[in-house]
């Protein structure tokens, strides 16, 4: 149940941003659009997978569910996220993605312990500096979003995840701005 009395139990992030309209919602959604749909060394599927993975590490069922469903819309098998959370080293992802996922896990769980060796492992897998930059931003954004969702007390509704994934795929993130009157 949401902690804000004006937020309903089935409201989602765009509902809340549209309801409060403090001027922070539109830039936040535009950031999502640029980061997850803009130019990047990572595919859209990989970026949605990273969003779901970071959310899973944080046990944010709402974001993990929505972004697992969104990743599935771009071809990522839904069970893969659960496999990654159990043991990313054994999951069915490309060897090139493993050090990126390891980086995301460590940055989420123990950010002050990041080292050059962590970055070097990403580079050794063939990723560029831009790729690491994008991965760090995705990690930061979803750590923020997980805390936003949990702090407001938004309710995960598993039966709606598929619909949310389709909405994210079909309208992108920018589609939420007009659909929910986000300013």
Reported as a single tens digit per residue, the pLDDT across 11-51 is 999 999 999 999 999 999 999 999 999 999 999 999 999 99
Measure the CA–CA gap between 73 and 41, rounded to whole angstroms.
19
CB-neighbour burial class of residue 90 (10 A; exposed 0-12, middle 13-18, buried 19+):
exposed
Mean per-residue pLDDT, 66-94: 94
Is the pLDDT reported for residue 76 higher than 90? yes
- Give the pLDDT confidence score for residue 23 in this predicted structure: 95
Mean per-residue pLDDT, 60-89: 95
- Give the pLDDT confidence score for residue 163 in this predicted structure: 87
> What are the φ and ψ backbone dihedral angles of 9, each rounded to 5 degrees?
-65, -20
Q: Give the containing element (helix H, strand E) for 176.
A: helix 175-179
- Give the pLDDT confidence score for residue 158 in this predicted structure: 87
User: Please, which residues have CB within 8 angstroms of residue 138's CB and are 6 or more apart in sequence?
Assistant: 35, 36, 47, 50, 51, 54, 104
CB-neighbour burial class of residue 158 (10 A; exposed 0-12, middle 13-18, buried 19+):
exposed
Measure the CA–CA gap between 26 and 73, rounded to whole angstroms.
24
Task: Name which of 125, 133, 123, 175 is nearest 39 in CA terms.
Answer: 133
Confidence of residue 98 (pLDDT cuts 50, 70, 90): very high
Pair of tokens at residue 31: 């950031």
What structural domains does the chain harbor?
13-173 (1.20.1290.10)
Task: Name which of 17, 35, 20 is nearest 141 in CA terms.
Answer: 35
CA 162 to chain centroid = 15
Are 14 and 62 contacting, i.e. CB atoms less than 8 angstroms apart? no
- pLDDT tens, position by position, 104-140: 999 999 999 999 999 999 999 999 999 999 999 999 9
């Amino acid at each position: 149940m949401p902690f804000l009395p004006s937020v309903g139990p089935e409201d989602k992030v765009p509902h809340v941003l549209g309801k409060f309209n403090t001027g922070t919602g539109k830039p936040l959604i535009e950031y999502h659009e640029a980061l997850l749909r803009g130019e990047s060394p990572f595919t859209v599927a990989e970026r949605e997978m990273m969003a779901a993975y970071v959310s899973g590490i944080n046990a944010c069922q709402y974001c993990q569910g929505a972004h697992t469903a969104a990743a599935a819309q771009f071809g990522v098998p839904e069970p893969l996220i659960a496999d990654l959370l159990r043991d990313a080293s054994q999951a069915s992802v490309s060897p090139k993605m493993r050090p990126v996922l390891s980086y995301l896990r460590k940055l989420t769980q123990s950010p002050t312990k990041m080292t050059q060796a962590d970055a070097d492992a990403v580079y050794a897998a063939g990723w560029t500096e831009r790729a690491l930059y994008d991965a760090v931003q995705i990690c930061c954004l979803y750590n923020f979003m997980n805390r936003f969702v949990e702090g407001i007390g938004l309710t995960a509704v598993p039966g709606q995840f598929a619909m949310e994934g389709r909405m994210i795929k079909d309208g992108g993130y920018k589609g939420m701005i007009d659909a929910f009157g986000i300013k």
